[in-house]
A and B are shown apart, each in its own frame.
Chain A
Amino acid sequence: MPRQRVSLQPRRSGRRARAASENLTGYLFIFPSVLLISVFGIFPVFFTLYVSLHKWRIKRGRFIGLANYREMFGSPLYLLLVIAALACIALAVYLIGRARGKRGSLSAGSGVFLLVIGLAALALLLPYLARAGDKGMFTSLRVTVWYSLGTVPVQLALGLLLASFLYQKIPAKQVFRVIYLLPYIVPSVASAAVFERLFSLKPESFANQVLALFGRPPAQWLLEPKGIFFLLSGERMAVVSESVIADYWLSWAQGPSLALVSIMFFNWWVFVGYNALIYTNGLSNIPRQLYEAAEVDGAGKLAVFFKITLPMLSPTTYFLTLLGIIGTFKAFAHIYVLRHPAARGEVDPMSVQIFFTFFRKSRFGYAAALSLLLFAIVLVLTLVQRRIMKERVHYG
């Protein structure tokens, strides 16, 4: 026995030594990345939380607990009620989604019921929360939502349209691909500088020349804080009522400001080509046999599109939708260039609002609290997206 042990000893310790040296090499190799990402990517998340609990104007002030968060939302009661209403809506959507296909099931009925309750509660409570809370933040939330609604569907629709053209047998395909991606890769400060001229209030600017073609007088474009539905209605949708609820929803009904719509044009210009390219990728991943089978069954073109192409593209669509929505929460460079003081903050989504709270007003603590709210929203969106993706991928 002792002999055996002796003979095993060097091999085992050799292996152990090798494992130890591999451990050491591994740590040495990852050390630079781990150090940098820890200091500038992980620690800051906790540090933001710390900052947000203080009065912090350039230099750290006193500890104020949740006061920054209270300033954001005004009343904790309304906040809790609004979150409950949102949770109610989320649950309803989940129930309805699960019951889809199973006709007349109980959960669908209760889902619809919950949805109505949740929406009604939200409609009644949100105005009071917005009045009690930080006006600037709620404006920026409204701007972010409008910006998402005004950009993501257009990016997707035009992107898919271009992709379906690009997918056909056409000459010089690569040339088109290169050109369509061009707006996406250049610094947006530079391209936004051009759009700032194209959408200026001068009568000879591009946007006003287009209006002139239709015999309309020049508009203010990037300098116009008024909502487009308000403008289109001949400025008849003015806020006159005394009711908090009516006032609040009227501010929504007036629509995104014309200034924000001008910025949407820029967003479309940048992202339609990008989405088209991603969609072309998705299209080429659809198995050919599906189309052949559909042809054998004598399916029409529209049926093929809605029954095969669109469902098979749904992972791509979900990916691009989330990317687009999160993009509006992060949007900065182009808005920084295109925003004009005359638009009175009606073009600032959350990211820009946070930046100015921090950079111009030097309210570090409050801006940190705002940024954590943004983080929470983006995180929820990402998790919802993950869930949907998981279900869809199994399904597709």
Chain B
Amino acid sequence: MVKERSPWLQAVLLLLLILGAFVSIIPFLFMVSHSLKTIAETITRSSAIPFDPKFWPRVPQWSNYRVAWQEARFGLYFRNSVIITAITVGGIVFTSSLSAYAFAKLRFVGRDLIFTILLSTLMIPQTVLLIPNFIIVAKLGWIDRLPALTVPFLASAFHIFLLRQFFSQIPNELIEVAKIDGATHLRSLISIVLPLSKAPIFTVVFLSFIYTWNLLQWPLVVTQTPRWRPITVGLSMFITEAGPETHLRMAGAVIAVLPVITVYFIAQRQFTEAITRSGLKE
């Protein structure tokens, strides 16, 4: 398929690709430029085309971010999101690597049956779990508290599956040798399997980080005050309830997007690989 092409065709292809990239990026530029406008500018001086000077603020209002961070409480929501995401990602790596090791390397009664049952839960849509889980969490007295936002997400069949695929390829001999040296399974998981599995562990971290950070429906249901509200919920309430404060909304959106984009750019190659290989869950 790849053949010598006329330079014209090459140029047209490239131009179309650049156009596509431009469409992907414009909304982000809009987010940034409008977060730096005055409230009057967002109403009277607005455009959606970056080549139009009206797209940009006359004088960037950096103070918008201070207002969003403090008065609109995006600082608190941001902090909550960081805590929730850190706990969840840590928990998923912990529970998934233990289980994946057991399913890949240990023999115990009912192993394959249990694994199949866990996998089949992937077919259940989140909407089905929403109502019963809300009732369970309410019964446990967790509404508006941190466990409601983290505990239900600390284990994931999807990530167990992902890691097990990789762990199975690690030769059993390595573990046998360690066992002769008197190592327990926990030891060989920590000192043999995990060091060999940096790439899949990174994949688990990235995917669960994005999934948790972006989650809206569940935290919307289990938070009633700003105490543990994550940034997605804070932002959505700001949009559906507040008035015409476009500049603060956009500042909030930038704050919500920034961590994801930062991590994405740092580890872009692993990210694009991981997502093309497995896809996010939602």
Contacts and interface: CB of A to CB of B under 8 A. Distances in A.
The answer to whether A and B belong to the same complex is: yes
A33 B264 contact: no
A329 B125 contact: yes
Interface residues of A, number: 94
Interface stretch (A118-126, A146-154, A350-358): A350-358
A189 B236 contact: yes
B98 A23 contact: no
A40 B136 contact: yes
Contacts of A280: 276
Contacts of A272: 20
Nearest to A354: B127
A367 interface: yes
A337 B242 CA distance: 12
Contacts of B117: 42
A39 B136 contact: yes
Given A47-B136, A204-B46, A193 B235 contact: yes
A48 B132 CA distance: 6
B250 interface: yes
A374 interface: yes
A358 B130 contact: yes
A19 interface: yes
A249 interface: no
Contact of A368 (B131, B157, B213): B131
B126 A330 contact: yes
B174 interface: no
A269 B108 contact: no
B249 A44 contact: no
A22 B221 contact: no
Interface of B: 1-2, 5, 10, 13-14, 16-17, 20-21, 23-25, 27-28, 30-31, 34, 46-49, 94-96, 98-99, 101-103, 106-109, 111, 114, 117-118, 121, 123-136, 151-152, 154-157, 160, 184-185, 210, 213-214, 216-217, 220-221, 231-232, 235-236, 239-240, 246, 249-250, 252-254, 256-257, 260-261, 264-265, 268-269, 271-272, 275-277, 279-280, 282
Interface of A: 19, 22-23, 25-27, 29-30, 32-37, 39-45, 47-48, 51, 162, 165-171, 174-191, 193-198, 204-206, 209, 269, 272-274, 277-278, 280-281, 291, 323, 326-327, 329-330, 332-333, 336-337, 350-351, 354-355, 358-359, 364, 367-368, 371-372, 374-375, 378-379, 382
